[in-house]
């Protein structure tokens, strides 16, 4: 996918299905301890990424759903990296 396709996909197919709060919040990488403030859209996507990680690592998804979620995760991570590169490097990378 091109960057434009990634942005379009996340904005039209992913974000409308997520709860996006009115205010951002401070998030902390549980592994590195690094923190940063995220705007509301970034919080929603970060929480989706972390929740998907838990579901995948715990084996909570059927095999067919696992593959779909892994593909979505890659695209959402690419979007996050494009929109918030510094925050991506602290929280996800």
Per-run averaged pLDDT (10 residues), the chain, 93 residues: 96 97 95 95 96 90 90 97 96 85
Q: Look over the chain and give the mean of its residue pLDDT values, rounded to a whole number.
A: 94
Q: What CA–CA distance (Å, rounded) separates 69 from 46?
A: 14
**How much is the pLDDT for 59?**
84
Percent of the chain whose predicted confidence (pLDDT) is above 70: 100
**How much is the pLDDT for 11?**
97
Count of domains in the chain? 1
Distances 83 to 25, 65, 74, 76 between C-alpha atoms, Å: 16, 27, 14, 10
Percent of the chain whose predicted confidence (pLDDT) is above 90: 85
3-state secondary structure of 41: helix
Q: What CA–CA distance (Å, rounded) separates 10 from 77?
A: 10
Residue range of the domain that includes 36? 3-91
SS3 content of the chain, % helix, strand, coil (to 5): 65, 10, 25
């Amino acid at each position: 996918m091109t960057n434009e396709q990634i942005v379009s996909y996340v904005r039209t197919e992913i974000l409308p299905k997520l709860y996006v709060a009115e205010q951002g919040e401070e998030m902390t990488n549980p592994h590195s301890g690094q923190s940063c403030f995220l705007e509301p859209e970034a919080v929603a996507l970060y929480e989706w990424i972390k929740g998907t990680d838990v579901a995948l690592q715990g084996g909570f998804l059927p095999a067919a759903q696992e593959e779909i979620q892994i593909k979505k995760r890659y695209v959402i991570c690419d979007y996050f990296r494009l929109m918030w590169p510094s925050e991506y490097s602290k929280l996800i990378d």
